[in-house]
Amino acid sequence: MEVLTDSFSKENFIVNVQFGKLYCGKTRDAQELTVKIWGLPPDEVCTIALCNDTIVDRLEGELSVLTNPDLGNHPNLVKLIGYCCEDQGSHYGVVYNVRSKDSLLNLIEKDDFTWTQRMQAALGVARVLEHLHERNYLVCNVHPAHVILDQDSNPVFLDFSLQPDRTIA
């Protein structure tokens, strides 16, 4: 993951998400992608076992959604390339097949994010929520940091996990 993100360079950083950070990345053959590094918010204090359990549960939930052909087959839902666990389970990462322009959170604050682009983003988020709700999944904690726009300005929903009660938080 370090190679993909140029050592997690500041230039490749996109946004902080609920349980980690998003980075732009690139493979050796120049395929652009997005990398999420799982971690705890900097002000959260807990024992390492509890933290790992929480992260593992969320990672497993996200993987179950993204590998489910019925759920993961939506143009506004991120596509999984792969994931990894390093350093005896203390570092987790996920690689997505999306060329990130920026997060919706960052773009909302910019003057060049037009009303047309805002409406396109809102419509894309509504479509993916409808897709998940039609399959009886309830989505919680929808936040602009959890939506990125790809290079073609299409919104892509990417930060969530599947809870045992079929709730995506």
Question: Over its length of 169 residues, how does the chain's per-residue pLDDT go in tens digits?
Answer: 889 999 999 999 999 887 789 999 999 999 999 999 987 543 343 333 334 456 777 788 788 888 888 877 889 999 999 998 876 656 788 999 999 999 999 999 888 889 999 999 999 999 998 998 888 877 777 889 889 999 888 999 887 654 545 656 5
Token pair belonging to 62:
């996200």
Beta bridge partners of 102: 149
What pLDDT is stored for residue 12 in this prediction? 94
Contacts of 168 (CB under 8 A, 6+ apart): 61, 65, 132, 137, 138, 139, 140, 160, 161, 162
Q: What span, in angstroms and rounded, lies between the C-alpha atoms of 150 and 2? A: 22
Q: What span, in angstroms and rounded, lies between the C-alpha atoms of 155 and 74? A: 11
Contacts of 137 (CB under 8 A, 6+ apart): 65, 71, 162, 166, 167, 168
Angle at 133 between CA 127 and CA 136, to 5 degrees: 155
Q: Answer yes or no: pTM beyond 0.95.
A: no
Domain 10-168 class, CATH top level: mainly alpha
Q: How many CB atoms lie within 10 A of CB 16?
A: 15
From start to end of the chain, where are the E strands?
Answer: 13-17, 20-26, 32-38, 80-86, 91-96, 100-103, 138-139, 147-150, 155-157, 167-168
Token pair belonging to 79:
């596509």
Q: What span, in angstroms and rounded, lies between the C-alpha atoms of 140 and 146? A: 11
Which residue from 155, 157, 152, 154 is spatially nearest to 168, judged by alpha carbons? 157
